[in-house]
Structure 1
């Protein structure tokens, strides 16, 4: 994946990374692993997400954990049109919104946003442009 980090001062940092998705818990959940930058470089982000569907709410319970940065988030995810939108809170107390857009069988665009309060607009912090590879 190609990553764009939108910094508070308006500048951007670009890097590469990798993500791996798979069914776990006998098909009851999806787990993904996110690594940035792409190995073998030392990681600045190394985390995992567990997504478990809950038919009672018509959505997914999502738990993110990046022990390298002590970054954690809980969200609820649902389909919105052709996108998947996850909304919740992170370990800093910020509201988070993660959107999977432009989804195809071989790629997606992930947009990470945050805000301190409902009255504040969402601010894009990260974008990941992921594509399936053979490696």
Structure 2
């Protein structure tokens, strides 16, 4: 006799309880403070800048939680928000992805991996606090420098912007800005 297949809610319940953590692992110590203020849900106004100088505004939802025994923070970034999504949406400016931020105790840095299955994006960054902001720096698939910056950080709001350089970091092009408000 074969075992009965798990019901969807049983599978999801086990997965969710194994993934989510109520708080940061104590081993992180002060390192947790770089990102712990993000925990929760955010409403986001998005501005995407096209190469021709035009811009596209949209709305998004962003959710952050401690995961993996409280040793990482994972987010789910959705733009447009779930109630506005349609099965036949264009892939352009369509975001339904996740980032995993994990602290590396060996070099005492936060590593960030972003994946958007809608577009096939996969990007990696190393994060550091610079002044009152957080700069996440990496390279795109063509080797161009990229940075994602969290700035204007307050209890209930922050600004995120993404830039890319096509000349080895001499000039930067603003590609997107997110203006987040805590729900």
Length-normalised TM-score, structure 2: 0.69
- Map Cα deviations across residues 61-108 of structure 1 (whole Å, 9 max, x no partner): 110000110011011001111100000012343321000001112111
- Map Cα deviations across residues 36-78 of structure 1 (whole Å, 9 max, x no partner): 0122122611110000112333321110000110011011001
Report the counterpart of residue 155 of structure 2 in structure 1.
105
Contact in 2 for aligned 1:49/1:65 (Cα 8 Å): yes
Report the counterpart of residue 63 of structure 1 in structure 2.
113
**Structure 2 CA distance for aligned equivalents of residues 52 and 73 of structure 1:** 14
Q: Which runs of 5+ in 1 are unaligned?
A: none
Contact in 1 for aligned 2:96/2:117 (Cα 8 Å): yes
In terms of fraction of residues, the more strand-rich structure is 1
Q: Which runs of 5+ in 2 are unaligned?
A: 1-43
The aligned runs of 1:1-135 (5 Å cut-off) are 1-42=44-85, 44-133=94-183
In terms of fraction of residues, the more helix-rich structure is 2
Q: Considering only aligned residues, what root-mean-square deviation do their CA atoms show, in Å?
A: 1.4
Q: Matched residue of 2:119: which SS?
A: coil
Q: Which runs of 4+ in 1 moved over 6 A?
A: none
Length-normalised TM-score, structure 1: 0.92
**Structure 2 CA distance for aligned equivalents of residues 91 and 26 of structure 1:** 31
Q: Matched residue of 1:17: which SS?
A: strand
**Structure 2 CA distance for aligned equivalents of residues 45 and 102 of structure 1:** 23
**Structure 2 CA distance for aligned equivalents of residues 91 and 69 of structure 1:** 13
